[in-house]
Structure 1
Amino acid sequence: MQRYTSLLLVAFMLVLLIATISDNLAGHADRTRREKPLQSITVYTTLPPEHAGMLAEGYEKSKNVRVNFVPVSSVEVLQKLHQDSVGGRTRADLVLADRSTLEKAAANGGLQPYISENTDSIGASFKDAEGRWTGIWYDPVVFCANRDYVRAVPRVPNTWMELASMPEVRVGITDFLAADASANLFFSMMSQFGDQATYHILRGIQPKVVQYSKYLSTPVRMAGMGEVDLSVAVQSEVLRYIHQGYPLQVIYPEDGTAYTLTGVGLVEGAKNEAQAKDFVEWLLSDEAQLVLQSREFFFVPLNPVTIAYKSFPGKDVVLFSRPQDFSQSERHDLLDRWVKEVRLQ
């Protein structure tokens, strides 16, 4: 018995010793990480600061690399890349932005190709053919209906023309002049349907509009509160309100819809190229999607090998395929005509 007790005591002392050594080693590692300067990368981005901030925080916690996001407009991205190249000093490593900005940056020679197993998995319609930028996620425009309305009517509209012709439906929508995503819907419809058909659809919807909102979230909230029957809204806002318990149902237009694509491109001459490529791979991972979804931001991921992609609702939505090809003056004229002939009627 005494021998058995002695063995137990020795075993206990060994466990205690191992635990003490492990704690000391862990503490030393923590101190080393704290004392060693963090690696960092710089990213020009058109994302809202809230989205950029949570991505930076999530990546630093995961990889111990700091992401310095520089919030800029689409025009400023191109200006900064040009200034950097003329000055011979590259300040940014990546551009994280909307599709239009990335396409212009690539055309101006500001981005270099980067192809990996993950980027190669992205569909061809969501990336540059030469690998100079790659789509990460997109946010489609959908119909979002109040569930009481869905139960009360024999049929819920599921095409743009049907929404325009459906009688006695109260509609919420964000003003095309108030938000980029809403303006993108307008110009995408112009490209897909043509101006005559688009104005016909919008004239049909106009008498049903209860309110042209300033924010993307307002039409969703109105539908959730029963202030309108159906809203035209971005899916990320609809899913956020559904996650919060609002009685809403997503309806995908069968004749297609607009979407906002967010992608990333590697800057030509990036000084921290290896770290920048690692960040691209992380953005295409489940971990990045988890960071966003944990804060109630739900975008459709584009990497088909991820769990997030396989489990995400609505990834098979029909998307408009015709590119927008309007000059700034043409955009101004089209919107001006909409205001005069539709909005103010």
Structure 2
Amino acid sequence: MHELNWVQWGRRNNFIGVRALAKEFKVNLHYSHVKKFNFESENIIKNRYMLPFATQKIGNYIVRDSLDLGTNRAINNFHLSILKKVKRDSIVYTIANGMPILDRVNCRLKVHEQVSCALELAELRNRYQNEQYDITSIYERELRTFECSDVIACPSIAVSNYVKSICPKANTHICLYPRPEIELGEQFEKKNNQSRIKFIFAGRLEYTKGVDTIFSLAKKFPLAEFHLVGDAVCSPPPLGNIFNHGKLEQKKLFKLFSECDCLLFPSYSEGSSFVTLEAMSLGLPGVVSFQSGSHYKHGDNGFLFDANNIEECEGYIEKIIKNPEIIIAFKEKIENEKFYGIQDYNLSMCEMLWQNLI
């Protein structure tokens, strides 16, 4: 039986993928954070590590997988079939739907130089004063990971550009994260008899998500509505056109999506935001930052802008308000374009591995 070194990252992964791999391989499981396992297998050898984890090549294979791929059977089968063909001593480094760690740290520090939010600043200090979040060690660890990886799977151009900026020789391959398949009942159908343009934001209400931009837009465009969904770290200003819905269960969130006209997502650091994928699956156009790493195409089914350029974002919001027919055109483009789902993602990953490792 072949041996596989599997490096697993994160608290929330449920290790379904590892259980599946154990049927085909003897798995040396290198993991962090998780204290308890809900499975046992004679083919799994558990090795717990703490930050920073080893980034050198160990054993026959390393798959450093930060994607939550283990929750999907189709992708599990893909991993099993492809790993049998991967050459020895290979590292595949996958970056999930968030930006790498260092970018998130730098983004938070940069944003907090510009915006003061007591709660976030306290959280930031507690997090980065801890030894394991030392910025220098984070940078060195990520750089080593990039340098020793045979190929780096990136979920968006934004992530690929970031990796290249700190490691120009990195071999990146863009594998767009798949859009979810969402079916809505008739009660969720879009209502077109409204007079005001409705923008919607979904995510944690914090400054790194660009909520300061949304607050500014709401003040500048009082005739448009701005709907906010998510846990609030920063309270919105008392404006009549801001509607704070708090955290919603998925069904209510999708219903609210269907009642709004356009997603507004000005995040400073995201990588590949899942909320943009959900919005597109629901046929919703978007005004989103480049940093969100979304599937939106500028001028075709949405508008893209630099999160640090609020004037650019304002221009697109004003354009939509003055020309609401843009929303209709964008929506038609989304509905008519080919749906990019799990099978397309699998093909992209296969292409990456065949080109680089097989």
TM-score norm. by structure 1 comes to 0.36
Q: Which is greater in Rg?
A: 1
- Higher RCO (Cα < 8 Å, 6 or more apart): 1
Report the TM-score, using the length of structure 2 for normalisation: 0.35
Greater fraction of residues in helix: 1
